[in-house]
Amino acid sequence: MIFMNIHEYQAKEILRQHGIPVPPGEVATTPAEAERSARRLGGTVVVKAQVHAGGRGKAGGVQLASAPEQARAHAAKILGMRIKGLEVQKVLITPAEEIASESYVGVVVDRASQRPVFMVSREGGIDIEEVAARSPQAIRKLAVDTRYGLLPYQAFWLAATLYDDAAQQRACSKILLQLYRAFVESGASLAEINPLITTPAGEVKAIDAKINVDDNELFRRPDIAALRDSSAEPPAETAAREAGLTYIKLDGNIGAVVNGAGLAMATMDLIKYYGGEPANFLDIGGSSNPDKVVNALTIITSDPNVRTILFNIFGGITRCDDVANGIVEATRRIQMRVPLVIRLTGTNERQAVEILEQAGFSASTSMDEVVQRAVELASRA
Ligand code: GDP
Ligand code: MN
């Protein structure tokens, strides 16, 4: 992963710390706890699945409960439910708000402008991607100059596109300024409130929140890093992180084990060039440690889509014969159910090919040859 997901209740706590009006809430991991929380909060509550996925409402993961017993029943249904493949292990119990309108406000690091970009829309409550596809004119955008941050007049300009009422415009511009601080101070790549609601009494409040934290910001923010919930992350990504590998799962069927991010990109390009689809981005880094190879193979083969695995190793400081020994050792330790194709080039490549051939593998020093072979094997399987 290149960013860390946190839960709604954690994102709300960050927003709260920055002064944004957010209803209170309690986290429950059992139906009985959910009932107790609902009783403490009083009145109608919402039981909300805490998973790293959007669209929980549509999936049945957000339910109103008018009595504590009903909160218990909803929690019993929602806990254990799967939303976008992720199992719900926690629910948030929060007082139900009366909603007069739902808007979207968000700030995201934008590649094109290389700045944080605010996006706001009156069409809140639904996925912003959906709004962007259907009615892009309904989203107003503003790029922030990070030397100055979001300026008050800019916040007001954005707020004025969302609300006609002056008091709500003021409340919203304050929230946008606070959201920008929350975004910067938590090292986020995205911070969004969807929906930002108005109540019939005219208050403006955040009832859902999402923050993604840039991985590279975590080392200097131990308090934010501590928010990581590994049990809620895809197991392969947790395993990769713990093994010190850079791994991103993709949708194709050719697994690739590569050393160096540049070579990993070039390998993915070449797989595509020859008509294949990569199953992952994976960089094992500079070491030839068999443990790393075992970890990489275990992680890649845990993806049921993988039909073949391609090794592409450049031996600079890393010696190819070391990597070859690592591969032989690793494949002794784990049962391989898919074919391996191996390309090594650089320091001691001849010895490496020999080691691999003696162990019954086919290896080559040509990248084109091996990628074509991998594409062929994957399409055949
Ligand atoms: P998401 O589907 O994962 O984005 O979850 P949300 O927290 O955004 O909830 C989805 C929808 O449920 C919202 O857009 C609201 O329409 C509704 N909802 C959530 N909380 C409340 C609440 O307190 N009161 C009411 N009436 N509806 C709510
Ligand atoms: Mn939402």
Q: What is the pLDDT of residues 151-172, one digit of tens each?
A: 999 999 999 999 999 999 999 9
Total domains present in the chain = 3
Q: Which of 15, 50, 62, 88 to mutate to test the pocket of ligand 1 (most atoms within 8 A of CB)?
A: 62
**The residue count for the chain:** 381
Question: Which residues, 6+ apart, have CB-to-CB distance to 132 below 8 Å?
Answer: 139
Choosing from 104, 163, 180, 247, the catalytic residue is 104
CATH number, domain of 148, equals: 3.30.470.20
Q: How do residues 89-140 score in pLDDT, each as one tens digit?
A: 999 999 999 999 999 999 999 999 999 999 999 999 988 999 999 999 999 9
| 16 within some domain | no
H/E run at residue 370: helix 367-380
Residues 156 and 220 in one domain: yes
CA of 57 to the centre of ligand 1 (A): 6
Residue 7 lies in a domain: no
213 vs 157: CA distance, rounded Å = 27
Give the global pTM: 0.83
Residue 192 annotated among the catalytic residues of the structure = yes
| CATH number of residue 53's parent domain | 3.30.1490.20
Q: Which residue has the higher pLDDT, 293 or 379?
A: 379
Residues with C-beta atoms within 5 A of ion ligand 2: 194, 208
- Out of 177, 198, 225, a domain closes at 225
Domain termination residue (choose one: 80, 95, 110): 95
Residue pLDDT, tens place only, 236-289:
888 888 888 889 889 899 999 999 889 999 999 999 999 999 999 898 887 667
Domain that holds residue 335: 234-380
The mean pLDDT of the chain is 94
| 165 shares a domain with 144 | yes
| Residue 167 to residue 362: CA distance in whole angstroms | 71
Whole-angstrom CA distances from 100 to 93, 123, 172, 227, 250 are: 21, 13, 15, 32, 40
Of 273, 279, 270, the residue nearest 381 (C-alpha): 279
Torsion over CA: 266, 268, 270, 273 (sign): negative
Question: Is 18 inside a domain boundary?
Answer: no
Give the pLDDT band of residue 216 (cuts 50, 70, 90).
very high
Cβ 150 vs Cβ 118: under 8 Å? yes
Name the band, by pLDDT with cuts 50, 70 and 90, for residue 323. Answer: confident
237 in active site: no
Query: What is the number of alpha carbons within 13 Å of residue 30 lying toward its C-beta?
Result: 3
**β partners of residue 102:** 197
Q: Residue 189 — φ and ψ, nearest 5°? A: -100, -15
**Predicted pLDDT of residue 351:** 93
**Residue 30 in this model has a pLDDT that exceeds 60:** yes
